[in-house]
Copies of this chain bind each other. A is one copy, B any other.
Amino acid sequence: MPLAFPITNGMVRILKAGGQLEEFKQEKLERSLLKAGAGRTIASEIIGHIERELKEGMSTSQIYKHAFFLLEKKDKPVATRYSLRRAILELGPSGFPFEDFVSEILREKGFTTEVDVTLKGECAKHEIDVVAYNENKLMMVEAKFHNELGIKTDLKTILYVKARFDDIKPLTFNYGGVRAFNENWIITNTKFTESTIGYGKCKNMIMIGWNYPGKGNLQDMIEDSGLHPLTCLSSLSQRQKGELLRKGIVLCRKLKDNYQELESLGIKKGGVDEVNKEIGLVCGL
């Protein structure tokens, strides 16, 4: 018989992505399901199902996969939203750089962007992942991708981003007019450590993590504007996703009604309609 609920009060510890054991809390699972848009009834059904099969030491990833499997049968677009974080992780192994994804997001927000820029500061040349600007803002963006959940962006990272900005800030550059950088951004698909958040706030940096800050975090930025990466789509195969990413097509909205592109993947007419429908549901297009 499996070792389920071995501890008093029904507490089961699950294994987090970072390797620590943590008490399983149904509120957390519920929150993530509701956040993805699942109705209360569906959420409790899934939680009930998961709880019956919970075992001490089960990984959050196993639980996630199980919940996703159950959710997909009940509400596909919600399941896709639920899997958004994993879809971002899939950008890594695909070889598609996270900075290009960040650049796409900022362009959709109305900024002009350039990726992989070398800027000469007062004391050194620096590699900047993304330079983005509009009329009022000229910002340098560090796009920090980790291909494992559970890793946090730490103090050393934000310290070097700060020192780099300090070295560049006194100088002017020609981006939509000759001017100095006035914003220092870091965007990551991970969480930040507490001390990183404290330091960044104190130094007026713009920090955007997976679910930091409460409003306007990476997940919000993607969902509010329907900027989902095509790795979200379950109607495309891994091979088809890889082919598109290699062509520089990252966002699923770029595929919407793009019959030529979809057919070039070898998808038949009916299949193309199915992909289009999923894009519509997932991105609200």
Tell me the A residues contacting B by CB distance below 8 Å: 122-126, 155-157, 159-160, 162-164, 166-167, 195, 198-199, 202-203
Shortest CB distance A166–B (Å): 7
Nearest chain-B residue to A162 (Cβ)? B163
B-chain residues with CB within 8 Å of residue A159 when the two chains form the complex: 159-160, 163-164, 167
A195 B163 Cβ-Cβ under 8 A: no
A163-B163, A166-B163 known; A203-B156 Cβ under 8 A:
no
B160 A195 Cβ-Cβ under 8 A: no
A164-B160 Cα distance, complex, nearest whole Å: 9
Write 10 A-B pairs (CB below 8 A) sorted by A numbering.
A123-B198, A123-B203, A124-B155, A124-B199, A125-B195, A159-B159, A160-B163, A162-B163, A163-B163, A167-B199
A203-B156 Cα distance, complex, nearest whole Å: 18
A202-B202 Cα distance, complex, nearest whole Å: 26
A123 B166 Cβ-Cβ under 8 A: no
B-chain residues with CB within 8 Å of residue A202 when the two chains form the complex: 122-124
Nearest chain-B residue to A199 (Cβ)? B124
A249-B143 Cα distance, complex, nearest whole Å: 44
B-chain residues with CB within 8 Å of residue A203 when the two chains form the complex: 123
B-chain residues with CB within 8 Å of residue A160 when the two chains form the complex: 156-157, 159-160, 163
A156-B124 Cα distance, complex, nearest whole Å: 11
B-chain residues with CB within 8 Å of residue A123 when the two chains form the complex: 198-199, 202-203
B-chain residues with CB within 8 Å of residue A126 when the two chains form the complex: 155
Interface core residue of A122, A125, A162, A166 (most chain B CB under 10 Å): A162
B-chain residues with CB within 8 Å of residue A125 when the two chains form the complex: 195
A203-B166 Cα distance, complex, nearest whole Å: 11
Shortest CB distance A255–B (Å): 36
A195-B122 Cα distance, complex, nearest whole Å: 12
Nearest chain-B residue to A203 (Cβ)? B123
Nearest chain-B residue to A127 (Cβ)? B155
B-chain residues with CB within 8 Å of residue A164 when the two chains form the complex: 159
Q: A123-B198, A124-B199, A166-B166 are in contact. List 6 more A-B contacts (CB 8 A).
A: A124-B198, A156-B160, A159-B159, A159-B160, A159-B163, A160-B160
